[in-house]
Amino acid sequence: MKKNYFIIICVLGIVISLFSFQKSVNKETQAELDKRLKKFKKMKTRICNEDAMEEVMIIVDSMLIRRAQVIKTSPISKPPIPPKPSAPDVRLPDDSTPVGPIIEN
């Protein structure tokens, strides 16, 4: 029983393989194949470029974050504290009479 199935499968495989290989390829089939290959290469190139850009963005982001951390902790990058401004000149009022109550008892 098992030998019969094995023999049938082998015979079918041989027959299919004999008919599947063509000696010549016509021009229309070759043109269609070239078109599909071109489309496939274009798609693979686009996917590869997108993956590469994602990896590069991760690397650049980590480099920028590290650079910012170094600049933040570096004492050279922090400017010195500016000096306090001088006190403004206070103008005294022209009227020098003493201040008193408005309403007198």
Mind listing the pLDDT tens digit for each residue in 3-57?
677 888 888 888 777 776 666 667 888 888 899 999 999 999 999 999 999 999 9
Q: Report CA-CA distances (Å) from 60 to 40, 54, 56, 70, 105.
A: 30, 10, 6, 15, 82
- Count how many domains the chain has: 1
36 belongs to a structural domain: yes
81 belongs to a structural domain: no
84 belongs to a structural domain: no
| Domain of residue 57, residue span | 27-74
5 belongs to a structural domain: no
45 belongs to a structural domain: yes
93 belongs to a structural domain: no
104 belongs to a structural domain: no
- pLDDT of residue 92 exceeding 70, the answer is yes
The whole-number pLDDT of residue 47 equals 95
46 belongs to a structural domain: yes
The whole-number pLDDT of residue 101 equals 82
